[in-house]
Amino acid sequence: NTLFKQTLSRVMKKTNGAMKMLQQWKASYLETRMRIEASAKSHRWEFDKRKLFAETDYMASVAQNLNNVANVIQEFYNIFGPELKSIISDPGQIDAVVKRVEALTQPIEEADFDIFSHEFAEHWDAIMASFNQ
């Protein structure tokens, strides 16, 4: 995975765009269904919502997780930035903390499964639980 090799602002933009696109699919379906039913020209237009949205809802939640990860890392960078380094006696300590923060994305980058597949939700949840500790 190369997502976190990019700038955090790019990661946030991509993950936010992915979330919005996936949510728009659901919103468009529901809006279209409502218009068709309101026209009363056809029978009730209903499909199994679980089949329609389970995967895309899950993918949107993973994109949200990735966006949250990027935001948390950005917050750490804001805290442990050049200003803090300039006022402490051992700036190397800040560098060590920053390296540990950067290592937080390693389990995401090295996941040996499709993080967007609902089939591996348990594995993804474990990675996110570890990140959030």
Separation of alpha carbons 33 and 87, rounded Å: 60
What pLDDT is stored for residue 24 in this prediction?
95
The whole-number average pLDDT for the span 32-57 is 82
The predicted-structure confidence for 57-100, as pLDDT tens digits, reads as follows 999 999 999 999 999 999 999 988 888 878 888 878 888 888 99
Whether residue 41 is predicted with pLDDT greater than 80 in this model: the reply is no
Ramachandran class of 40: left when φ > 0, alpha when ψ lies in -120 to 50, beta otherwise = left
Do residues 57 and 21 make contact, with C-beta atoms less than 8 angstroms apart?
no
What pLDDT is stored for residue 1 in this prediction?
63
Task: Output the six-digit token pair for 118.
Answer: 């609902």
* Ordered DSSP codes for 7-68: -HHHHHHHHHHHHHHHHHHHHHHHHHHHHHHHHTSSS-----HHHHHHHHHHHHHHHHHHHH
Prediction pTM value? 0.85
